[in-house]
Amino acid sequence: MCSDSDGDLWETLDVGFDVLQRLVVAMWYYNDCHKEDNCAVSAVLDRDETIQLARRLKVPVEELPQKISESEVFEEYRHIVNADLADVEECFKLATDFLVDEGCHFKIIREPGKHGYCRF
């Protein structure tokens, strides 16, 4: 999901894997006027948690991002064309709630901008 990127401030939400094959739900914040403020917050499952989640959901590990994004918890957001920042942030919350409901343990990792952490 991506907020309307025509403005100066916008966010994206991505579900995928890092180089260690850990599942990552990442929300990126972009400020086109002050790029030094670009930052991110991510929920990261370690490799074992990622494998356990795939087993619980009965899908191959590589299909986890699609399975999560197709979850019914995102139904009302799935067809938004120009999401606003609040929509992206709510979807990040729904994604982390989904992981908690599935019994996952994950770390929240913040990647601060030059002037500190993101507003979320």
pLDDT in tens, 33-83: 767 777 788 999 999 999 999 999 999 999 999 999 888 888 887 777 777
**Residue 66 pLDDT:** 93
64: part of which helix (H) or strand (E)?
A: helix 64-69
What is this structure's pTM?
A: 0.82
The residue assigned the tokens 């930052």 is 39
User: pLDDT per residue over 74-84, tens digit each?
Assistant: 888 777 777 77
More confident residue, 59 or 120: 59
Q: By three-state DSSP, how is residue 72 classified?
A: helix
- In whole angstroms, give the CA distance from residue 21 to residue 73: 24
Question: Residue 16 falls within a domain, yes or no?
Answer: yes
Question: Residue 50 falls within a domain, yes or no?
Answer: yes
Residue 78: domain span: 9-111
Question: Residue 117 falls within a domain, yes or no?
Answer: no
Question: Residue 3 falls within a domain, yes or no?
Answer: no
Question: Residue 87 falls within a domain, yes or no?
Answer: yes
Question: Residue 120 falls within a domain, yes or no?
Answer: no
